Structure 1
Amino acid sequence: MSFLSVDLQHKTYPNGVCTLRDLRFQAGKGEFIALVGPSGTGKSTLLNLIAGLDAGFEGRIDYPADTTLSFMFQEPRLLPWLNVEDNIRLVLDAPSRQADTQRCARMDALLEQLGLADFRASFPGQLSGGMKRRAALVRAFVTQPGLLLMDEPFQSLDEPTAQGLRQLLLQWWGETRPTVLFVTHSLNEALLLADRILFLSARPAHIILDYPVPLVRPRPLATSQLQPVRNELLQQHPELLSGIPTFYQPACP
């Protein structure tokens, strides 16, 4: 049964640039979907549309109205005048004292798990890039969202740090099972994390392949263990990562 339904006719900017066209897919409840495509193809735009940050498109995006949504952007987006704890508390709009207590306890546990418990009073300017990402990850998960949008959340991190955060992401996802849309340029990262990978064409983007990842969970963390699946996929679709369309695309309206 579909939890999220996306049916975009087109997204065209006022300057006439069309970035998305005839893009349609559905996501089940608790499904982890990766979005892979060339730079500038509109992956971030798609997440903004789903989050309701941009309403200027033709089409429909549907998911349950009572869904708690979290968005982890490419940048940590921590307010510099607030410390780590207060940046996280921005999303803790609890309906009752009991709910507030539960969410604060969850925040404490996540900060401890990510090694930030001793830095909760620190300001963003006092943190490393990796620590800022970890704080943003806590903020994304502390509300236990039903829909989690992640826009290249681990880019620019060194590989050991990124791999550690991927493991934590998979652990938390396994515990609460939000529906996840995860933008990445890394096919290996997509194969490690996702149930399905949606490959996007060049602009105006549409889906050129909806690929169910043929790997059981838990997934192998070593790149060498993902390589056979990657090789087979690229042998069957050699131009996939270039986003080369398989048919002629007329201009957007």
Structure 2
Amino acid sequence: MLIPTWLRVLLRAPFLWLLFQSLALTVYLQYAPKPQQAINRWTLSVTTTVQRFFHWVRRPWIALAEVETLRQLNSALLSQLSEVTCAEGPVAFPVGAWGDFSATQRYRFVPAEVMYQTFQARHNFLLLNKGGKAGIYPGLGVITHTGVLGVVAETTATYSVVYPIFHAEVHITAQLPREQALGITSWSEPTYNQLLLEYIPLYVTVQKGDEVWTGPSTLFPPGLRIGRIEEVQTDFSRGFHALKLRTYVDWHRIGSVYVLVPS
């Protein structure tokens, strides 16, 4: 009787040895606890390493999504705070831009990012990534988490041009809250992060370090921080102080901004 070729191959000693060794190793690993645990630990370690790698790769996108979520939440909280109209007297807001705010007007705070800004220009401007679709229109005030930034000058559906306080033609009604005196801010290049506060009468007592806030106007609600007095000059010929102030907004480190939309 002739034995088929494939059967002769199977019956060879080396092949049979490998077959039985594989079966024995499988049975051993299946029923022996320590080797099985070691393999499980190794598999878990490899899986964890792979998951950590993919998490590290995705981390920048996760962080950006979380920042946007927090920005929207902060915007909603600020809008709710501006609706506190039943309080008697000023309402103190727990954000750096507010000095002492009388909630006579409700505002919606629209968060935006600065896409572009100019430097060393007499007529500086910023470009924001929000426009008409977000409810923004010319004439609205723009702030950061530290203080007043500027005014919306032009808008498209998706972008806005902002003239900052460091613009030759931007003038803001300001007040010295300690003395309740009103003046006007102005700027001249290239003194970034500095403004000139004019038309403060000489009878008003002014000290270095006094805060300057926005006064009542159509552009900003009163009580937004602008800066602190850095130098006191007196112009007796005009009868007014000429006050140099250091702004809270740093033109070189603006970050996220909020557009104040009356609601």
| Both proteins in one fold, TM over 0.5 | no
Q: By percentage of residues, which structure has more strand?
A: 2
Compute the TM-score of the two structures, normalised by the length of structure 2. Answer: 0.25
Tell me which structure has the larger Cα radius of gyration: 2
Q: By percentage of residues, which structure has more helix?
A: 1
More contact order relative to length (CA 8 Å, sep ≥ 6): 1
